[in-house]
């Protein structure tokens, strides 16, 4: 295959060269550090081979935070480039690569891992289960996501980044107009990560249906469990579409077929349809669990049960159905008949109805409550006004005739950032502050948290509000530069300043994580927020078997009622039984690595080598099918010791940490 | 606690000020220069008014509830009531959004249908057909009736419906003249259509909004609306003075590049109709090589114009500066019918 090293690595750009050196140094430093502190064994046995849903959840979150850094730097570079007219910080090609990777990373490698991470950690606890339905599959999902993320991320130093936008519209994304391998990274990396996500979807559908504890009927599930369940169903319904679309894209790009290319009878709009048939539900895949988190957090800090629980459930089901019926609103301008555009206008606007119901239910959950302004609650509160702006502009965009003027402008960009940041990122932050003590046994600092909150929320509004007006003035998205005569300069500059404030907010979060890990108080009991759902009914941080005896549920907000009725009693020694848990396994991480290697070879179009490497996948599957390890039992003594330790201290002599 | 209220109030007022100022400043969407853009603007204004109403109600309710039911030093003992919902209230806030959506749907659907046709009041004027072909990264305007062609600018008579027939020679673009009408995609081997009328003589910006690679940002054109007399005179001048374009020149023009304005006294429609599903491809894959990173295989279709008359030679191969393709790389092109070697 004649490797040409001068083309293998991306060369010629000082920014990228600096990153290459930085990445190499970080890698060497990390490897050296791990070896020096003898942490390899710990990492391998406690984390890399784990099948514990809590650890997998935490690793997902770590992946999401790291990717947030990467996607955020991409965003800052874009804002830096467009801050002034005719800037030459980035050239057109580099800018195209940056906005493409920004979009893909933020949606697929930030929002998804953070949400799936929180789902992983919280859902089994909320339904009173010891694990997810398929723990080893869960680990496999995670390592495939890591594998996809790693493959996608190396593109900018090795081989060249994708540059056709996160939507990768054909014919631009085809070989006719994007030769080189940049866009192969898109097709292959997302395929691998998408397989992981699909398996997560299946896993959580089964987990929620089959693993609920005694008495927890569907209509007694906490809202986060409900939304995650519906999200998992949408994943199962929509990700196969993406899988097929990406496979066809790979054929077009690697083997010269003509599914989407304009030559040889291909149909470019087929890609757009398939992409958005997945891509629009994807928006709800990330937004719905976030809605669920908000519901739980708002009811906790308003000290009230969720208002209109039943209509909340109905509305998320409605949203999930409608989410599959609106994809054409992404290309109202492709020359559909007026009838088609009218139909999709109406279905799209209809989504505002269940969403509006939810907003009012949240407001009325707080009514007559006693609202505590913890950092988690501030994020949940900030969601409402900001998301409403995103929502109403969404309705404006849904009106096809009006969309002819907004389409592909910065108005659209502002809209979806107003939906995705308050609708996904704010709730994720809320969830992190809320569940952090459950994960690690200490809280994130509330004071630094408030800095994080105010900088981020103000920065967000300063960044994206001007874009509405720029769009209405005719500024198009994805343009790397503009002339001074357009008059976009001042608002673009304000927007750039906002992005710096936004970044400072994120920096405050990172500092908070560091500060709290070192300094936060550890004696916080198992229920620091006076919360309502079952995940708070066990130790903090959660012991590896979750619950010594599985709780029984009679009502919504089960834990709240247990507290009120004094049903939380110490566990008697004779009530303890051995607990069966699955063993750690190296197969998931091995599969991740093999998928990564064969994916990498496929990206470079070394198809035979990729095929050979893919035999490793079969080997892993074969090995798994001969794996008769049936797990292990946690001994009674260990359970008794652990349980008496935390139950003794539970909520006694613990400072109230809620300010 | 106070901060959140303060923040809310300031956010609301900033929103309102910006939105209201938006209505009277010079943002192009709010200054339509023709009936189509005006119809769209009416719809936009209507939706802004309704949405502002929604926003104000929700913000007000939100501010009120968060303020009134906040935890204070003196209500620490207050234990909120068990409250599960209210069917009546929930029906109310389901029905109100439905009403709002219906109120938006009716004018939306009407406008969708209306702007698909020649605007009211102009039905008796015969529309001027202009074929628009987008290519990387330029706009080609053909006047089939007049037999002239322009690049990166288009002159139109005022007060007369213009019937744009849109197609693309390669990537997908979006044709947008915000002051005159909304946008439509241009796609190879397909045709979309856009009507517009300009009220007055004047110069307007047109652009591509659909990302199509490196030259995307510069893909703008000028729309010059003239009086009928000036337009006729311009056509006459073009017929007399502009050069004729050859097929070879045209193929060269379709290569990825930025061009200035050009004018011709014939049209490319004599040779090719890009909107025909069976038309040849004028793609030039090797010229899109990014010049960094690992080269991939290039696939070229047998339909490509370069294979015409069995001629495999790409005459433009050597002298294009965008092109970083080297003969030494061809060993990697084993998978496709790579032209030029």
Name B207's bridge partners. B176, B220
pLDDT tier for residue A591 given thresholds of 50, 70 and 90: very high
Q: CB contact, 8 Å: B187 with chain A? A: yes
* pLDDT score for A657: 47
DSSP string, A253-295: III---SSSSGGG--HHHHHHHHHHHHHHHHHHHHHHHHHHHH
> What does the alpha-carbon distance between residue A191 and residue A194 come to, in Å, rounded to a whole number?
5
Which ipTM score applies to this complex?
0.91
For residue B225, how far is the Cα from the chain centroid?
19
Residues of A numbered 183-202 whose beta carbons fall under 8 angstroms of chain B's beta carbons: which are they?
184
The active-site residue out of A142, A242, A284, A344 is: A284
Of B337 and A245, the one with more pLDDT = A245
Residues A432-440 have a mean pLDDT of 96
> What does the alpha-carbon distance between residue B177 and residue B37 come to, in Å, rounded to a whole number?
9
Are the C-beta atoms of residues A108 and A193 closer than 8 Å to each other? yes
Are the C-beta atoms of residues A551 and A538 closer than 8 Å to each other? no
> What does the alpha-carbon distance between residue A383 and residue A374 come to, in Å, rounded to a whole number?
14
- Running DSSP on this structure, what letter comes out for residue A424? I
Name B139's bridge partners. B134
Of A659 and B197, the one with more pLDDT = B197
Compute the count of residue pairs across chains A and B with CB atoms less than 8 Å apart: 368
Q: Which residues of A touch B40 (CB under 8 A)?
A: 401-402, 404-405
> What does the alpha-carbon distance between residue A419 and residue A428 come to, in Å, rounded to a whole number?
13
* pLDDT score for B7: 58
pLDDT tier for residue B312 given thresholds of 50, 70 and 90: very low
Q: Which residues of A touch B222 (CB under 8 A)?
A: none
Q: Give the tens place of pLDDT for each residue, B116-144.
A: 999 999 999 999 999 999 999 999 999 99
Q: Which residues of B touch A478 (CB under 8 A)?
A: 211, 216
* pLDDT score for B328: 37
Name which of B141, B225, B227, B140 is nearest B181 in CA terms. Answer: B225
In the annotation, is A355 catalytic? yes
CB contact under 8 A, A378 and B4: yes
Pick A264's closest partner by Cβ from B80, B209, B303: B303
Residues of A numbered 367-406 whose beta carbons fall under 8 angstroms of chain B's beta carbons: which are they?
367-373, 378, 381-382, 384-385, 388-389, 392-393, 395-396, 399-405
Are the C-beta atoms of residues B271 and B247 closer than 8 Å to each other? yes
The active-site residue out of A329, A358, A452, A563 is: A358
DSSP string, B191-260: -EEEEE--SSSEEEEEEE-S--STTGGG-EEEEEEE-HHHHHHHHHHHHHHSPPPPHHHHHHHTSS----
In the annotation, is A282 catalytic? yes
Are the C-beta atoms of residues B204 and B137 closer than 8 Å to each other? no
Q: Tell me how long chain A is.
A: 659
Q: CB contact, 8 Å: A123 with chain B? A: no
Residues B169-192 have a mean pLDDT of 95
Q: Considering only A341-345, A388-392, B16-20, which range has the smallest mean pLDDT?
A: B16-20
Residues of B numbered 65-84 whose beta carbons fall under 8 angstroms of chain A's beta carbons: which are they?
65-66, 69-71, 75-76, 78-84
Name which of A223, A225, A220 is nearest A204 in CA terms. Answer: A225
Name which of A56, A74, A77, A62 is nearest A110 in CA terms. Answer: A62
- Whether the bond between A541 and the residue before it is cis, its omega within 30 degrees of 0, is yes
In the annotation, is A417 catalytic? yes
Are the C-beta atoms of residues A548 and A639 closer than 8 Å to each other? yes
**Nearest 5°: phi and psi at B44?**
-60, -45
pLDDT tops 60 at residue B21: no
Residues of B numbered 252-291 whose beta carbons fall under 8 angstroms of chain A's beta carbons: which are they?
281, 283, 285-286, 288-290
Residues B16-27 have a mean pLDDT of 60
Q: Give the tens place of pLDDT for each residue, A170-225.
A: 999 999 899 889 999 999 999 999 999 999 999 999 999 999 999 999 999 999 99
In the annotation, is A483 catalytic? no
CB contact under 8 A, B43 and A409: no
* Three-class DSSP category at A42: helix
Q: CB contact, 8 Å: B22 with chain A? A: yes
**Mean of all residue pLDDT scores within chain B:** 85
CB contact under 8 A, B209 and A407: yes
Of A53 and B284, the one with more pLDDT = A53
pLDDT tier for residue B316 given thresholds of 50, 70 and 90: very low
Residues of B numbered 154-183 whose beta carbons fall under 8 angstroms of chain A's beta carbons: which are they?
166, 170-172, 174, 176, 178, 181-183
pLDDT tops 50 at residue B327: no
**Nearest 5°: phi and psi at A326?**
-125, 5
**Which pair of structure tokens corresponds to residue A280?**
């629009």
pLDDT tier for residue B321 given thresholds of 50, 70 and 90: very low
Q: Which residues of A touch B12 (CB under 8 A)?
A: 385
Nearest chain A residue to B208 by CA: give it: A476
pLDDT tops 80 at residue A530: yes
pLDDT tier for residue A629 given thresholds of 50, 70 and 90: confident
In the annotation, is A468 catalytic? no
Residues B317-327 have a mean pLDDT of 40
In the annotation, is A330 catalytic? no
* pLDDT score for B309: 55
Residue to mutate among A359, A402, A447, A479, with most B CBs inside 10 A, is A402
Residues of A numbered 280-309 whose beta carbons fall under 8 angstroms of chain B's beta carbons: which are they?
302-305, 307-309
Are the C-beta atoms of residues A562 and A536 closer than 8 Å to each other? no
Of A500 and B218, the one with more pLDDT = A500
* pLDDT score for A606: 93
pLDDT tier for residue A573 given thresholds of 50, 70 and 90: confident
Percent of chain B past pLDDT 70, that is, above it, reads 82
> What does the alpha-carbon distance between residue B195 and residue B228 come to, in Å, rounded to a whole number?
18
pLDDT tops 80 at residue B310: no
What sign does the dihedral B111-B113-B119-B120 (CA atoms) show?
Answer: negative
């Amino acid at each position: 295959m004649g490797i040409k090293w001068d083309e293998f690595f991306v060369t010629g750009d000082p920014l990228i060269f600096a990153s290459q050196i930085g990445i190499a140094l970080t890698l060497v430093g990390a490897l050296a550090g791990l070896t020096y502190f003898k942490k390899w064994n710990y990492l391998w046995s406690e984390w890399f081979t784990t099948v514990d849903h809590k650890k997998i959840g935490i690793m997902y979150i770590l992946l999401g935070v790291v990717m947030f850094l990467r996607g955020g730097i991409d965003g800052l570079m874009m804002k830096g480039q467009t801050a002034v007219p005719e800037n030459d910080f980035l050239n057109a090609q580099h800018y195209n690569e940056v906005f493409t990777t920004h979009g893909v990373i933020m949606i697929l490698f930030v929002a998804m891992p953070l949400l799936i991470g929180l789902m992983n950690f919280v859902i089994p606890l909320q339904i009173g289960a010891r694990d997810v339905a398929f723990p080893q599959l869960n680990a496999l999902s995670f390592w495939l996501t890591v594998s996809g993320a790693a493959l996608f991320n190396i593109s900018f130093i090795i081989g060249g980044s994708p540059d056709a936008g996160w939507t990768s519209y054909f014919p631009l994304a085809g070989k006719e107009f994007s030769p080189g391998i940049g866009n192969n990274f898109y097709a292959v990396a997302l395929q691998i990560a998408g397989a992981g996500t699909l398996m997560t979807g299946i896993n959580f559908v089964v987990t929620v249906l089959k693993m609920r504890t005694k008495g927890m009927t569907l209509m007694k599930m906490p809202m986060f469990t409900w939304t995650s369940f519906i999200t998992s169903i949408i994943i199962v319904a929509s990700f196969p579409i993406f899988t097929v679309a990406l496979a066809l894209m790979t054929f077009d790009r690697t083997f010269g077929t003509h599914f989407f290319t304009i030559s040889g009878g291909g149909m470019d709009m087929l890609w757009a349809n398939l992409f958005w048939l997945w891509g629009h539900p994807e928006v709800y895949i990330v937004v719905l669990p976030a809605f669920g988190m908000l519901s739980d957090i708002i009811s906790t800090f308003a000290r009230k049960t969720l208002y209109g629980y039943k209509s909340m459930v109905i509305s998320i089901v409605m949203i999930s159905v409608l989410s599959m019926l609106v994809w054409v609103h992404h290309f109202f301008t492709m020359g559909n008949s007026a009838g088609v555009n009218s139909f999709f206008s109406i279905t799209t606007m209809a989504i505002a109805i269940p969403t509006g119901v939810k907003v009012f239910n949240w407001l009325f959950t707080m009514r007559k409550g006693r609202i505590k302004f913890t950092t988690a609650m501030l994020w949940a509160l900030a969601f409402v006004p900001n998301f409403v702006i995103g929502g109403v502009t969404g309705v404006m965009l849904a009106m096809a005739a009006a969309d002819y003027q907004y389409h592909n402008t910065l108005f659209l960009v502002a809209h979806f950032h107003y939906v995705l940041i308050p609708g996904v990122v704010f709730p994720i932050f809320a969830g992190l502050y809320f569940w952090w003590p459950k994960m690690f046994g200490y809280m994130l600092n509330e004071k630094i948290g408030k800095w994080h909150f105010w900088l981020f929320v103000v920065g967000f509004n300063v960044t994206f509000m001007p874009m509405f007006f720029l769009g209405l003035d005719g500024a198009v998205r994805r343009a790397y530069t503009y002339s001074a005569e357009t008059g976009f300069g001042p608002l673009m500059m304000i927007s750039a300043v906002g992005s710096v404030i936004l970044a400072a907010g994120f920096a405050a979060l990172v500092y908070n994580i560091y500060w709290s890990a070192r300094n936060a108080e550890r004696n916080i009991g198992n229920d620091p927020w006076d919360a309502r759902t079952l995940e708070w009914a066990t130790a903090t941080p959660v012991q590896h078997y979750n619950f010594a005896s599985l709780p029984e549920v009679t009502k919504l907000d089960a834990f709240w009622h247990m507290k009120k009725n004094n049903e939380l009693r110490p566990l008697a020694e004779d009530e303890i039984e051995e607990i069966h848990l699955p063993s750690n396994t190296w197969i998931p991480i091995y599969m991740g690595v093999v998928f990564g290697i064969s994916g990498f070879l496929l990206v470079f179009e070394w198809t035979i080598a990729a095929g050979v490497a893919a035999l490793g996948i079969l080997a892993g599957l074969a090995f798994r099918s001969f794996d008769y390890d049936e797990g292990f039992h946690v001994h009674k003594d260990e359970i008794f010791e652990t349980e008496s330790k935390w139950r003794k201290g539970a909520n006694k002599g613990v400072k109230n940490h809620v300010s | 606690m106070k901060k959140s209220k303060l923040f809310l109030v300031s956010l609301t007022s900033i929103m309102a000020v910006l939105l209201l100022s938006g209505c009277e400043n010079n943002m192009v969407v709010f200054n339509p220069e023709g009936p189509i853009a005006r119809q769209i603007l009416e719809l936009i204004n209507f939706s802004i008014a309704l949405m502002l109403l929604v926003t104000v109600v929700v913000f007000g309710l939100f501010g009120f509830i968060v303020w009134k039911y906040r935890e204070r030093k003196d209500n620490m003992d207050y234990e909120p009531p068990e409250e599960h919902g209210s069917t009546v209230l929930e029906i109310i806030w389901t029905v109100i959004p439905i009403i709002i959506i219906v109120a938006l749907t009716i004018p939306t659907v009407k406008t969708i249908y209306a702007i698909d046709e020649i605007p009211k009041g102009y039905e008796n004027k015969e529309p001027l057909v202009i074929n628009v072909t987008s290519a990387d990264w330029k706009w080609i305007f053909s006047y089939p009736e007049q037999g002239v062609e322009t690049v990166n600018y288009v002159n139109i008579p005022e007060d007369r419906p213009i019937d744009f027939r849109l197609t693309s020679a390669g990537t997908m673009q979006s044709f947008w003249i915000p002051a005159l009408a909304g946008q439509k995609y241009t796609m190879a081997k397909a045709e979309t259509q856009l009507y517009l009328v300009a009220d007055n003589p004047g110069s307007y910006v047109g652009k591509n909004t659909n990302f199509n690679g490196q030259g995307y940002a510069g893909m703008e054109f000028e729309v010059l609306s003239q009086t009928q007399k000036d337009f006729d005179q311009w056509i006459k001048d073009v017929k007399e003075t502009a050069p004729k374009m050859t097929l070879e020149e045209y193929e060269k023009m379709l290569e990825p590049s930025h061009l200035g304005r050009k004018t011709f006294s014939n049209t490319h429609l004599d040779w090719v109709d890009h909107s025909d599903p069976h038309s040849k491809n004028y793609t030039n894959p090797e010229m899109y090589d990014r010049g960094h990173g690992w080269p991939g295989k290039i696939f070229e279709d047998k339909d490509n114009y370069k294979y015409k008359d069995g001629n495999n030679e790409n005459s433009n191969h050597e002298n294009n500066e965008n092109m970083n393709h080297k003969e030494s790389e061809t060993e990697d092109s084993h998978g496709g019918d790579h032209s030029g070697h």
